[in-house]
Structure 1
Amino acid sequence: MVYGAASILGDTKNGGSMTSTKQHILDAAVSIMSRKGKDATVAEIAAAAKVTDSVLYHHFKNKEDLLFYSAGEYLKTGIQELQHHLQEVNDPVSRLGRFIWFQLDYHDANPRYAYVTIFECRSKKNFFHHEGFEPFRQWTRILREIFVDGIHEGLFPKYLNTFVFRDMVLGLLDVENIMFFTSRPGEKAQTDLDGILDLLLPILAVKPQVRNDKRHRLLIAAEAMFAQKGYDKATISEISGQAGVAEGTVYEYFKNKEDLLHSVFQYRFQEHLASMDELFAVKTPLRKLKRFIQYHFSIYLNQPEFAKTFILNGIFNRRFYQTPAYADFQKYLDSLDPILEEGKRRGHFRSSIDNRIFKNLFIGAFSHMALRWLFAGQSARIDKTSEIHDVIELLARSVSVQDSG
């Protein structure tokens, strides 16, 4: 599955076959940039392609334009192959497994390409606005469509935030590759496939409805409708429809809409009171894990400048992994190990969980969600607090034995 640029690139600007010269330039660029990164010069790339600098600039605006364009063009063929593989399976669970397998295999088979896109593209904010990024958007849409299909078919939970879970999966796969590049050279990321699925598939399992009584469903539906439309505009008919019960059923549990409103408050206050024991003294491993994740994501909200700099110039910068700062970052992540091991000992977490892969999932989720927040644009309205809550719950589900406190 290793390809030369000459065999896979097409000239999207001119609508025909890409010239041999342009193909040689792209091939040389990926080869040299994968070894030298941003230190690669235009002169080196031109010489390797056996053209002059002026010929290179005839095809590309500058070195960055060349880098982004080549990354996107390479992925276009990857998308075609991915879609072919996905056509061979029908159910969303198998398609997700095939997607993850394919991306790990594609990066293992094309390490130079993976190296360039992870360390030399994602570390540059201009990449996310360049035309070369469009194939990456298409790649993410393919993944999210798998989740949407799974929800529609009743195989994945309805409450799944598909954007957050997409970031979790893609972030994990990126961090997996980063760690193999920097810490485990010579090994294949695909060796972690079973451990990855062991974390992700439990998140997608439709939980048995322990509290699937109609009253509880009505409370949850009412809470959502009151928040969305306002108390005055929300109707009993809409609430019952959201809860999946007949309109008359509402009055079997509540006197009227006002009683339903006050019952929502009571339900939540009782829930909060039940959690008071651990408010100031976190005792269970699951609560400790959630508290750690919440603390980490609060960094983005409280220290956005640091978060932006760390993601672009730390996580996606290969040199970071050879610095004392990375050693301290690793110690910080290793703080999760005692929590995970305690959870396994007490039977709260599954014993099969690979701590290393979970930490990759955790930091991958953070990095991809933060990137999306950073480059979403002014028009995008993202409820970061809600998404942080969602990712905490999803990460907790990835390790939990059903619902352990």
Structure 2
Amino acid sequence: MENKNGKKQAILRAAQEIFAEKGLANATISEIAKKADVVDSIIYHYFTNKQDLLFSSIEELIEKSHEELLFHFKGLWGPVSQLGKMVWFHLYENDFSSGDARKMKNLLFECRSNKDYYSHSGYKALQRYAGVMLDILKKGVKEKYFREDLEINITRDMIFGFLDEESLSCLAYREIDETLPDFESIMSLIMAMIGIDTDGMNPVMNLEVAAAVKNNRNGKAERVSEAAVSIFARKGHRKTTMLEIAEHAGVAEGTIYEYFKNKQELLFSIPRNKFLSYQLQLKGVFASKDPLEKLRSFVWEYFRIFSSDSDFLMIFLCDIKLNKRFYNTEAFGAFLDTSEILYDILDEGKTCGVFRQDLSNRVFRNLFLGAFSHLCIRWFVLERVSPIRMMSELASVTNLLCRAVVPKSEKIIDG
């Protein structure tokens, strides 16, 4: 549609600022129209609804970032240099980015947590951007900089997921102030996985954790939580009402407020209890004394536990993981505690000399969590992968993660 008077551009600019600041749920068409200096009805001349406006508003920002990235590639011909520059570019945008880049990251949180985004035309801009990484990896394999058995799509998902986790560490829960200092550690792990030259725990139950899980598995509060999981997974948190949850749980709507202040508190109570339970399951799987085998077991069990509860996994990926409020809740503390199990394995491996001494536990955790998130979104949200293919891809991911932690002189046998 033509836009001779620039009104559509003004609307997009206003929407970018307001959505980035307030999110889809709290932003209104009226305030966007006021900021763009147009009447409300003009917005509906260009966009179907508020969600369509959100998805369209990020497209321009992604395209701009795409062009800037390609500018940085000028003079860089080798795939390793281009890959390093793309990683550096993401970290730079976290730490020193312009207002547009920061707005883009906030809008991506909103869009990628919404299943409708993946069928919207605006998603194609993100696919084109991701295609840059895909081309770099293909070139690296062809020119024998990267392993010839590299599964390109899986590796792309892992790297982008890795960079997402770094962004969250800095921008969402402020674990670190800047991400650029991690550049060398990040590239070291990536090249250890894909470069051509790289070739048990005592299951004693934490009684406090066990008690917390047990206490939350009874009565009306548990019925409300189970009903919420079922409806959130089907409709999404935003579109679900407390009345629907109450009817599904067989309680009065007012009863829910005896246990939860509001719908958001109910949402975040779900992962808190799940993560406490997951900790217990993860601690019981490490019979092997070999740290590398423990790492393999951890990766497989982590994916298995989450995948076996598809409703919760859908909520976690779409309503929780990319919700910045999550990072200020007790549920996030329980989520991080699960990572302590991984840290113990990594520390043991370094102590035994099986893992690299320069391995950063925190940076590797981001690699692992990023791989998990991106693969599960593709597997369960986009619904493009068969169960058999999932197992094959998970085996590849596990092998890549194991390659990342062992010294260069060590050879590992793919499991």
Could you state the TM-score of these two structures normalised by the residue count of structure 1?
Answer: 0.74
- Could you tell me which residue of structure 1 aligns to residue 58 of structure 2? 71
Residue 392 of structure 1 pairs with residue 382 of structure 2: no
C-alpha deviation, 1:56, in angstroms: 1.4
Residue 31 of structure 1 pairs with residue 21 of structure 2: no
- Could you tell me which residue of structure 2 aligns to residue 111 of structure 1? 102
2:368 counterpart letter in structure 1: F
CA distance in 2, matches of 1:364, 1:377: 18
Residue 336 of structure 1 pairs with residue 342 of structure 2: yes
C-alpha deviation, 1:316, in angstroms: 1.0
Whether the 8 Å contact between 1:286 and 1:348 is mirrored in structure 2 is yes
User: Which of 168, 176, 186 is equivalent to 2:158?
Assistant: 168
Question: Which runs of 5 or more structure 2 residues have no equivalent in the other structure?
Answer: 200-284
User: Which of 193, 203, 223 is equivalent to 2:193?
Assistant: 203
Residue 403 of structure 1 pairs with residue 411 of structure 2: yes
- Could you tell me which residue of structure 2 aligns to residue 345 of structure 1? 351
How high is the sequence identity, in percent, across the aligned residues?
Answer: 36
C-alpha deviation, 1:145, in angstroms: 1.1
- Could you tell me which residue of structure 2 aligns to residue 183 of structure 1? 173
Residue 296 of structure 1 pairs with residue 302 of structure 2: yes
Whether the 8 Å contact between 1:157 and 1:204 is mirrored in structure 2 is yes
| Pair 337,379 (structure 1): closer, same or farther in 2 beyond 3 Å | closer
Matches within 5 A, 1:56-135: 56-108=43-95, 109=97, 110-117=101-108, 119-135=109-125
2:9 counterpart letter in structure 1: Q
Residue 358 of structure 1 pairs with residue 364 of structure 2: yes
C-alpha deviation, 1:186, in angstroms: 8.6
Whether the 8 Å contact between 1:107 and 1:113 is mirrored in structure 2 is no
CA distance in 2, matches of 1:332, 1:280: 14
Greater mean deviation of Cα atoms: 370-379 or 314-323? 370-379
C-alpha deviation, 1:87, in angstroms: 3.6
**Residues 169-189 of structure 1: CA distance to partner in whole angstroms, max 9, x if unpaired?**
001111211121122289332
Residue 147 of structure 1 pairs with residue 134 of structure 2: no
| Pair 53,375 (structure 1): closer, same or farther in 2 beyond 3 Å | same
| Pair 18,360 (structure 1): closer, same or farther in 2 beyond 3 Å | farther
Could you state the TM-score of these two structures normalised by the residue count of structure 2?
Answer: 0.73
C-alpha deviation, 1:105, in angstroms: 2.1
Question: Which runs of 5 or more structure 1 residues have no equivalent in the other structure?
Answer: 1-12, 210-278
User: Which of 308, 320, 328 is equivalent to 2:314?
Assistant: 308
C-alpha deviation, 1:293, in angstroms: 0.6
C-alpha deviation, 1:281, in angstroms: 2.9
1:88 counterpart letter in structure 2: G
- Secondary structure (helix, strand or coil) at the match of 1:64 reads helix
| Pair 208,311 (structure 1): closer, same or farther in 2 beyond 3 Å | closer
2:157 counterpart letter in structure 1: D
CA distance in 2, matches of 1:189, 1:341: 23
CA distance in 1, matches of 2:165, 2:14: 26
- Secondary structure (helix, strand or coil) at the match of 1:147 reads helix
CA distance in 2, matches of 1:53, 1:396: 54
* Count of residues in Structure 1 that have an aligned counterpart in Structure 2: 321
CA distance in 2, matches of 1:26, 1:290: 46
C-alpha deviation, 1:379, in angstroms: 8.6
CA distance in 2, matches of 1:297, 1:388: 8
